[in-house]
């Protein structure tokens, strides 16, 4: 069976995938600390040793989608599935680039999120108590140094050209990366940036169909 490798969103871990039901062996790529001013490409290279099977499928969520694309540039993979993510620099919202170039992520770091919980929940689309608890856990466990690096590196990302198939799944109600910014192959009605959790059944069906 095809090996499936998940790459989570910015600083998140395997918890965001817990509602999925995938009909294959799955592995979540573990984040490592960025080394100085390395590029996204250089960072992705250091993650490739976690890919143990050939002809695998990479599933990248949000920032993890960019990393998945970069890994696919370095290793032969069957397919890249992007969830709530971006395929090219042109699809990155201008405000995210602005934050990275100006270093605003340092002014409002991840550990400051608790005092703006309600705004954050609405932005990500976490509605249920389960999703709110999960999102709070993810945000409060973020490594500030990693977040600072990621925003800066993302603002300078040059994009990649791949030979493998790319499937882009995006929610119509995503407030972090508005659907108007991207060219999605599959649109999830009312899907938010957190649909990997609260639209897990629909996402699972799509992933299983394209393995």
* Mean model confidence pLDDT for the chain: 88
CA 210/CA 10 separation, integer angstroms: 24
pLDDT confidence tier of residue 100, bands split at 50, 70 and 90: low
In this predicted model, which residue has the larger pLDDT, 82 or 53? Answer: 82
Most confident of 87-91, 124-128, 149-153: 87-91
Q: What angle is formed at CA 147 by the lines to CA 143 and CA 148, rounded to 5 degrees? A: 115
pTM metric for this prediction? 0.90
Mean pLDDT of 106-120: 55
pLDDT confidence tier of residue 115, bands split at 50, 70 and 90: very low
CA 63/CA 8 separation, integer angstroms: 8
Domains for the chain: give ranges and CATH numbers: 4-209 (3.40.50.1820)
Please enumerate in sequence order all residues whose Cβ is within 8 A of that of 143, keeping only pairs 6 or more positions apart, or say none: 11, 31, 33, 110
Angle between helices 129-140 and 117-124 (to 10 degrees): 110
CA 163/CA 174 separation, integer angstroms: 28
CA 94/CA 116 separation, integer angstroms: 22
Is pLDDT at 192 greater than 50 in this prediction? yes
Instruction: Choose among 82, 109, 105, 211: nearest CA to 155.
Output: 105
């Amino acid at each position: 069976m095809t090996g499936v490798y998940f790459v989570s969103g910015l600083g998140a871990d395997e918890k965001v995938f817990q509602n999925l039901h995938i009909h294959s062996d799955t592995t979540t790529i573990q984040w490592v600390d960025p080394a100085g001013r390395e590029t996204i490409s250089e960072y992705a290279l250091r993650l490739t040793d976690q890919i143990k099977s050939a002809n695998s499928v990479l599933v990248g969520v949000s920032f993890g989608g960019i990393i998945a694309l970069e890994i696919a540039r370095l290793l032969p993979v069957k397919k890249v599935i992007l969830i709530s993510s971006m395929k090219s620099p042109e699809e990155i919202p201008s405000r995210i680039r602005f934050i990275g170039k100006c270093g605003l992520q340092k002014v409002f770091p991840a550990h400051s999120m608790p005092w703006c919980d309600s705004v954050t929940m609405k932005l990500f689309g976490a509605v249920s108590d389960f999703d709110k608890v999960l999102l709070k856990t993810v945000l409060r466990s973020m490594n500030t140094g990693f977040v600072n690096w990621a925003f800066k590196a993302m603002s300078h990302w040059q994009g990649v050209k791949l030979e493998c198939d790319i499937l882009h799944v995006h929610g119509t109600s995503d407030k972090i990366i508005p659907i108007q910014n991207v060219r999605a192959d599959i649109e999830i009605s009312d899907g938010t940036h957190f649909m990997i959790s609260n639209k897990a059944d629909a996402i699972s069906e799509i992933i299983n169909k394209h393995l």
